[in-house]
Amino acid sequence: MPFIVQKDESVGKNLVQMLRSRKELCPETVLQYVKNSKGEEKKYDTYTYRDVYGKVIEFACALKNLGIKRGDKVGLISDNRREWLITDFAVLSLGASDVPRGCDSMGTEIRFILNFVECQVCFFENQKQLSKVLEKIEEVPSLKKAVLFEKADESVFQLAESKGITVINFAELEESGKKASLEEKNAVEHEIDLTSGSDLATIIFTSGTTGTPKGVMLTHDNYIAQCEVVNSVLTYVKPGDKWLSVLPVWHAFERTINYLIISLKNGIIYSKPIGSVMLEDMAALKPETMCGVPRLWESMAQAFFRAMKKKGGVTLALFNAAVSTGKAYSRAKELVFGLVCRYQKRSRILDFMAGILPFIILTPANALFELIIFKKIRAKFGGHMKYAISGGGSLQPETDAFFHAINFKLLEGYGITEAAPVLSVRSPEKPRSGCVGEIYPSAKIKVVAMEDGEPAGTEPLPPGRQGLILAYGRQIMKGYYKRDDLTAKVINSGWLNTGDIGMMTYDNEIKISGRAKDTIVLLGGENIEPLSIEQAICASSYVETAVLQGQDQKYIAALIVPAKEAVIEYASENNIAYETYDSLLEANEIQELFRHEIDSRISAENGFRTCERIYKFVLLGKSFEQGKEINAKMEVMRHKVAKIYQKQIVSMF
């Protein structure tokens, strides 16, 4: 059943108007929670909507004096922090747009992007990020001014000056903005109202999973379309609720979440995706919700299992029994309450009959485990968490099942940068496993027949039929910056080719099967979708990452990054002697362990075809690194993996 939509007209026509309206509607609600680094007694500084809006207007005055004007492209190379939001809204206030990137980006990427959009002014988190540009400043001839969020050595100022770049401290600009006159502030307010929904807000360069980054142009209305209906989707969230923010804000997912938070009159707790930091912030500020990429949720689930395994004995046995019971209870509950994904027509009566007996039998045991185990696990998230959202990639079924088992409401969503990005999310009232939720109210989706990754028709396929996912609506991008040729390839009559393969259910939900361009075609002509196979392999506690290979080959092979701690622990428990970790991975016992883990999951019994069997594999001794083999969304960049591990890939064929 689709979301019941009620549009919030108070958000205005552009993003800064939305912030202004929240300043007027809830001036004393806290928007930003920032860890205090000054050694003062209070651990967190807080900034209300009134505070933040005032700082935005003042900072916009300072940026106007710096020369930033309507139509300019301003670089923003930084991770998530208080200053990022201030800068973003100040730039937008002047009718300019920002071009963000994260601190994990390589110098070549940053220089390419800043040069491509001809940035004259760029914000950098610290001197390290600025240095990535200064080392080959001739590649960015347009850049004239750099603003640093953090203090830098005097030598950096001198080096930049010698290369024709003026460096300014963010704090100095903030101070100058405080001196702005009422006339200057009114001029900025007037400029805000001149910005229309169709005006450019940002250019987000894609993470490069398929080669050279492309600049996705997103308008104010692309975001406003999502903000004005979010109340109809996240129905549990109330004004004043707090979101723990741990993802890179330059990426489309977290960027949109920041705007949705403001639309909902909520607050942002700035944290980091590091267990100890997150847990401290959760315990102190007790957030009601948060977003995370699948790898974050997987690592959390694995951390609970590792902690219990270390305790061993009765504690481990009780924990395993609780999780097993929780999973079985959850499956029975789905059958009883109609929470099973319907890829074909199902009888609700038969589902109910199949689930009611185990549901009744398991209810007392599940209630006991809820009291003595599940409640304590959820308390680790601060005790106030209503639900969380997983996005930016595909959630492992095992991870999904674990959070269902402990009664933690994890809602998987789906989106793409070119759609700004939210296209679907599971309903908080009826969250169904095995899909990425209902179509978001501001979007339209259809699944069409495909050929070689391209649409082979325009008529939507019926539920349960796999095809190419197309998206339509106000949130679809304006196009790729300076690349009309690429834009024409993905947008036809307003419909965006997402490049994703999937199917619709009878409940207006989407299931993602893989990427059209990731399809592996074997010599025998068999088409292999690697995503589901990789997910099945990664369900093993001994596997961190798996990447399938086999294009134009006779069979499928895999590069596998083992979970190092688990493998070492296995070696210790089984008295396997070794000198180095690399030599351990070559040991017969470890090779046999991984062969069993793979074969037990990729089998006919689990629904996999013979051609999908993994015939050979190579164990890699090092985890994939962000910026090297994986991007900011923690997605594997297959083209880079193929290049880096060419020797290992050749050895498998």
Contact yes or no for 428/235 (Cβ under 8 A): yes
Query: Cα separation of 638 and 651, whole Å?
Result: 18
Q: DSSP letter string over 172-233?
A: HHHHHHHT--HHHHHHHHHHHHH--TTSEEEEEEP--TTSS--EEEEEHHHHHHHHTTGGGT
Q: How far is CA 10 from CA 13, 238, 347, 365, in A?
A: 9, 16, 43, 48
- Mean local confidence (pLDDT), 378-393: 92
Question: Does residue 1 register a pLDDT over 70?
Answer: no
Element (H, E) at 342: none
Please compute Rg for the chain using Cα positions.
Answer: 25
Question: Which two structure tokens, joined as six digits, stand for 159?
Answer: 């080096």
Report pLDDT digits (tens) over 201-260: 999 998 544 456 789 999 999 999 999 999 999 999 999 999 999 988 998 999 999 999
Query: Cα separation of 321 and 162, whole Å?
Result: 66
Question: Which two structure tokens, joined as six digits, stand for 481?
Answer: 């910056």
Residues with Cβ within 8 Å of 345's Cβ and at least 6 positions away in sequence, in order, are 506
Report pLDDT digits (tens) over 299-313: 899 899 999 999 999
At 130, phi and psi to the nearest 5? -65, -40
Q: How far is CA 592 from CA 118, 597, 601, in A?
A: 55, 9, 14
How confident is the model at residue 554, as a pLDDT? Answer: 85
What is the percent of the chain with per-residue pLDDT over 70, rounded to a whole number?
A: 98
- Mean local confidence (pLDDT), 588-604: 94
Question: Does residue 356 register a pLDDT over 60?
Answer: yes
Q: Which of 479, 541, 570 is nearest to 198 (CA)?
A: 479
How confident is the model at residue 640, as a pLDDT? Answer: 84
Question: Which two structure tokens, joined as six digits, stand for 1?
Answer: 């059943």
Report pLDDT digits (tens) over 498-534: 988 899 999 999 998 877 777 787 876 677 878 889 9
How confident is the model at residue 124, as a pLDDT? Answer: 98
Contact yes or no for 521/529 (Cβ under 8 A): no
Report pLDDT digits (tens) over 103-157: 888 898 899 999 999 999 999 999 999 999 999 999 999 999 999 999 999 999 9
* Mean of per-residue pLDDT scores for the chain: 93
Report pLDDT digits (tens) over 611-651: 889 999 999 999 998 878 887 667 788 878 988 999 999 99
DSSP state of 460: P
